[in-house]
Amino acid sequence: SQQGEEDPQALSIQEGENATMNCSYKTSINNLQWYRQNSGRGLVHLILIRSNEREKHSGRLRVTLDTSKKSSSLLITASRAADTASYFCATDSGGFSGGYNKLIFGAGTRLAVHP
């Protein structure tokens, strides 16, 4: 079963615009991660935010986490055509020996950035 739900399922924007994707999850987490996947390829880790953090930045990416609402958002600023991909949130609820365990992914947001 999938923990997270991304919203929207698909997003189409013009280059230069900002893209915002949201993720909701169901259970308590240790951390939440965002991954990117180009069509038919493997996943690339973008950013990790721990449960005690509220906001994190990496380059043009900004991630927020609201544990009271069990939700997160990923903002990509000044989007480029090369940002076209599927974006997934994944939650790590911890477990044996702490640290990372299995990731539970949502169904993803398919982002299309048009030149």
Using the minimum distance from each CB to another protein, give the nearer residue, 44 or 81.
44
CB of 87 to another protein, least distance (A): 10
Q: Which residues from 86-105 bind another protein, rule CB under 8 A?
A: 88, 90, 92, 95-105
Using the minimum distance from each CB to another protein, give the nearer residue, 11 or 35.
35
59 scored as a contact of another protein (CB under 8 A): no
| Interface pick for another protein out of 40, 52, 59, 115 (rule CB under 8 A) | 40
- Per the DSSP assignment, residues forming a β-bridge with 110 are 10, 86
Per the omega criterion (within 30 degrees of 0), is the bond before 115 cis?
no
* 3-class SS letters over 49-105: EECCCCEEEECCEEEEEECCCCEEEEEECCCCHHHCEEEEEEEECCCCCCCCCCEEE
CB of 54 to another protein, least distance (A): 17
Q: ∠33-12-109 over CA atoms, to 5°? A: 25
Q: Which residues bind another protein (CB under 8 A)?
A: 2, 4, 30-31, 33, 35, 40-45, 48, 50, 88, 90, 92, 95-108
